Amino acid sequence: MVKKVSKIEVPSWDYSPSLESTSHIVLKEKYDLYIDGRWVKPHSGKYFATVNPADEQKLADIAYGNALDVDKAVKAARKAYNEVWSKMPGSERAKYIYRIARLMQERAREFAVIETLDSGKTIRESRDIDVPLACNHFFYYAGWADKLEYAFPNRKIQSLGVAGQIIPWNFPLLMAAWKIAPALATGNTIVLKPAETTSLTALLLAEIIDQSGLPPGVVNIVTGYGDTGAAIVNHADVDKIAFTGSTGVGKLIQKALAGTSKKVTLELGGKSANIIFDDAPIDQAVEGIVNGIFFNQGHVCCAGSRLFVQENIAERVVEKLKQRMETLYLGNPLDKNTDIGAINSKEQLVTILKYIKIGQKEGAEMYQPVCNIPAKGYYCPPTLFINVAQSSLIAQEEIFGPVLTIQTFRTVDEVIQKANNTPFGLAAGVWTDKGSRIFNLTTKLRAGVIWANTYNKFDPTSPFGGYKESGFGREGGLHGLSAYLK
């Protein structure tokens, strides 16, 4: 029988909790360091708060690891390397890595919600991109662990030893996976430091690693801020540093390692060009532009932050882009309809707003759609700058926020020159109907990754890394393995 519900009657059913509900998440009040297979208190006795940038509420206290804690972690990693991990056959190492991947998959919802709470990125992104990709990296590299001699035929396979790994806040879990999975597959042991504002998913990963039965000391997670990362870089018994972060810190690390025998890979900043030719499918290209810079609040090293549009279609593209920007929904990152979540930290918001002011001062025309900015939390509306000069700061420096500069071009040569004219060289996007044009550009653009008629697509089998000040060394694919072998 159909019950008639009058206007004022409250329906008598409850909705089941949404996938994004936080009811299944258990956060500890305090997180210690994960060293030698145990949770240990930091030497300093100090803890720092991690907050939810969407509402500025504290989520938990995180241990501050100093040089003494790093030393303890490196010693544990060395012992595990010498006694267990370097001697274990690849097929046995693979079992652990597969187990970690499966455990991560089982707790994928938890990972996604915690990632969103701690970082401010939208649940759509953490649920559909970060977590599945992180799992896939573990699955992919698990597959290589017993096949290294096929990956590198006629070469003696030798691991490096203890790897110090330092990661940023924009893809906290994914960056941990990029670092840990290939290092384990190749037989190295690890000391990893997450970024100050986003330690929680690395700590949940530590719980899973513990649950997987991985021998103690093989993976150690030392949280911290300030000089914690430098303590890893400067530790005498670390054989390799794998760093992802800003170009500024990357340069400091390279200086610190000069003259040592430590191996290093640096994955640094970017100012990537997204290039639209007049024969491109315009509507798809507009989606690609939005996906390239506005989703994840522009917190993407390879964000398509410089748009180059062929002059004869520029007006049409800008008009369509503005219309699309009006439909973007900014707000609670845990809402699955949200397109633009919170900026990761107050400091980062200040930096972005500083660049927006610079852009206005430099004389570019600014456009921001009308957005309801939540009263609490760190938010920045998607921002467009039109008529930007090639030399302007907003077209040259990495902003790491939802800010897009637009320039026009007439010829292929002109756009290649403009696109290459930054200190960076991480990624680029090319939108055109002509295959020959794509191949022409891919050979001339100085960027590590070039997408054709799409943007921001990742796969564990595909290497990733930069030219120039975007760093050196590759992660992902076979290249990612060789970075952890002698």
Q: Which residues of the shown chain bind ligand NAP in the complex (CB under 6 A)?
A: 166-171, 193, 195-196, 225, 229-230, 233, 244-246, 249, 252-253, 267-270, 301, 398, 400, 426, 466, 470-471
Residue 398 interacting entry, from Mg ion, ligand NAP, none, C-beta within 5 to 8 Å by type: ligand NAP
Touching Mg ion, residues 87-116 (CB under 5 A): none
Please name which of 466, 477, 478, 70 lies closest in space to residue 265, comparing C-alpha atoms. Answer: 466
CB 241 within 8 A of CB 164: yes
118 binds Mg ion (CB under 5 A): yes
Judged by CB under 5 A, the residue of 186, 188, 197, 405 near Mg ion is: 197
CB 426 within 8 A of CB 269: yes
Size of the site for Mg ion (CB under 5 A): 3
E strand or H helix at 204, and its extent?
helix 200-211
CB 380 within 8 A of CB 296: no
Q: Closest distance between Mg ion and the C-beta of residue 312, in Å?
A: 45
User: Could you give the CA distance from residue 137 to residue 156 in angstroms, rounded to a whole number?
Assistant: 24
The mark string for 33-62 relative to Mg ion (x by CB under 5 A, - otherwise) is -----------------x------------
Distance from the first to the final alpha carbon of the chain:
73
Residue 301 interacting entry, from ligand NAP, Mg ion, none, C-beta within 5 to 8 Å by type: ligand NAP
Residue 245 interacting entry, from ligand NAP, Mg ion, none, C-beta within 5 to 8 Å by type: ligand NAP
Q: Is 50 or 201 the residue whose CB approaches Mg ion more closely?
A: 50
Please name which of 190, 228, 195 lies closest in space to residue 206, comparing C-alpha atoms. Answer: 190
Residue 50 interacting entry, from ligand NAP, Mg ion, none, C-beta within 5 to 8 Å by type: Mg ion
User: Could you give the CA distance from residue 62 to residue 200 in angstroms, rounded to a whole number?
Assistant: 8
The angle subtended at Cα 466 by Cα 464 and Cα 468, nearest 5°, is 170
State residue 278 phi and psi, 5-degree precision: -70, -10
291 binds Mg ion (CB under 5 A): no
Q: Is 49 or 373 the residue whose CB approaches Mg ion more closely?
A: 49
Q: How many CB atoms neighbour CB 146 within 10 A?
A: 16
Q: Closest distance between ligand NAP and the C-beta of residue 168, in Å?
A: 3
Q: Is 332 or 345 the residue whose CB approaches ligand NAP more closely?
A: 345
Q: Closest distance between Mg ion and the C-beta of residue 350, in Å?
A: 16
Q: Is 167 or 481 the residue whose CB approaches ligand NAP more closely?
A: 167
CB 373 within 8 A of CB 381: yes
Task: Give the residue numbers marked as catalytic.
Answer: 267, 301
DSSP lists the bridge partners of residue 35 as 38
The mark string for 242-281 relative to Mg ion (x by CB under 5 A, - otherwise) is ----------------------------------------
| C-alpha dist (Å) from residue 305 to 88, 328, 398 | 45, 17, 8
Residues with Cβ < 8 Å from 344, sequence gap 6 or more? 53, 119, 120, 121, 169, 170, 197, 198, 297, 299, 378
Residue 47 interacting entry, from ligand NAP, Mg ion, none, C-beta within 5 to 8 Å by type: none
CB 193 within 8 A of CB 219: no
Q: Closest distance between Mg ion and the C-beta of residue 272, in Å?
A: 26
Q: Closest distance between Mg ion and the C-beta of residue 351, in Å?
A: 17
- Give the interface with Mg ion as residue ranges (CB under 5 A): 50, 118, 197
